[in-house]
Copies of this chain bind each other. A is one copy, B any other.
């Protein structure tokens, strides 16, 4: 948030920023979704809906899951939400009592621990490593289980690592959850955005007990619509509905119509987007490696590259601000993704080829200087390594 806000300030001062910090597709929303939304508005479809979501949308979601994963999903297990964020809020609020632990891999999406703590739970992050394709190790997960563990979170494909977990891993996590009476929470918001012939295994393919989060923001490039869903175990739907009713009443009526249209649309658009993302990924990873960033493997999904950057600065937050201030390139510090993200930077390639080229050129100018400065800092007494005034405390509440 702070990097983005500073980037906006710099833009107001007249600077052109290469934004690789925002995890938002640059594709337009599907025309069929826009048209359906406009038709619904014209028809006055602007009232509260069933708090679970329109039946037609829940049916379309169940049908879409059936088609993608060759499984049967009962429509009674579907809850429509205003994006996956409220879905997470509902799930963690339902599952967690104060002090309950939730196991997740790190580096991880920054909001998971926020939602867990918001529900008075305790996030327990297990390291995953670039060298291992950021695979979540079921043995390490099992070791982390205590009497207070309530849930395991897995995301595949993942933000910020781009990792896709294997079917074997997904199966092992499903079994661990069953054996220990835990909830498996599977964030599948990047499903479909996979490359190199990979396919992500859905928790839906392995049983009916997982909480599966998904939505329209990434695969359909519909971020600003705020529309997502949750497929939950049957027993959880009634309490989740009650929570949704109490906290949010219902999801925007005409936006739900857009969702129905998007799901019924053909999938050729996704293939085209995927090919564009694939090309950008290759160019960005090649460029970053040339510049000296560490990217041992091509990330297989989502639209992020998490790159090792220690040679340019050990403090990723400080480094991200340096790139912004001195090269006008926006990136996300790895520390935003938890302790296991420190020393890295996240680059988003949901931007044009031109933006990627511009960013790489600018970084090529600055990075040799930063590398020399980082080496010099290593020689200095410890107290001088703190970020300069005005950077570290910027904008914190």
Contact = CB atoms under 8 A, between A and B. Distances in A.
A224 B48 contact: yes
A83 interface: yes
B47 A224 contact: yes
Contact of A111 (B86, B246, B397): B246
Counting chain B CB atoms within 10 Å of each CB, which of A44, A239, A249 scores highest? Answer: A249
A169 interface: no
A355 interface: no
Contacts of A249: 83, 85, 226
Contacts of A255: 252, 255
Given A82-B248, A114-B246, A397 B47 contact: no
A335 interface: no
A358 B251 CA distance: 31
A245 interface: yes
Contacts of A246: 85, 111, 114-115, 118
A37 interface: yes
A149 interface: no
A49 interface: yes
Given A41-B37, A111-B246, A118-B247, A223 B47 contact: yes
A120 interface: yes
Contacts of A93: 118
Contact of A245 (B1, B224, B242): B1
Interface size range of chain A in the complex? 35 or more
Nearest to A239: B397
A41 B44 contact: no
27 contacts: A24-B47, A24-B48, A28-B44, A29-B44, A38-B38, A41-B41, A45-B224, A46-B224, A48-B223, A48-B224, A49-B224, A82-B82, A82-B252, A85-B246, A85-B248, A86-B247, A98-B98, A98-B120, A115-B246, A118-B246, A224-B252, A224-B253, A225-B253, A226-B249, A238-B397, A239-B397, A241-B397
A89 interface: yes
Contacts of A104: none
B34 A1 contact: no
Copies of this chain, tallied across the complex: 2
Interface of A: 1, 22, 24, 28-29, 34, 37-38, 41-42, 44-49, 51, 82-83, 85-86, 89, 93, 98, 111, 114-115, 118, 120, 222-226, 238-239, 241-242, 245-255, 395, 397
B251 A226 contact: yes
A64 B37 CA distance: 28
A51 B395 CA distance: 14
A111 B243 CA distance: 10
A44 B30 CA distance: 10
A254 B242 CA distance: 28
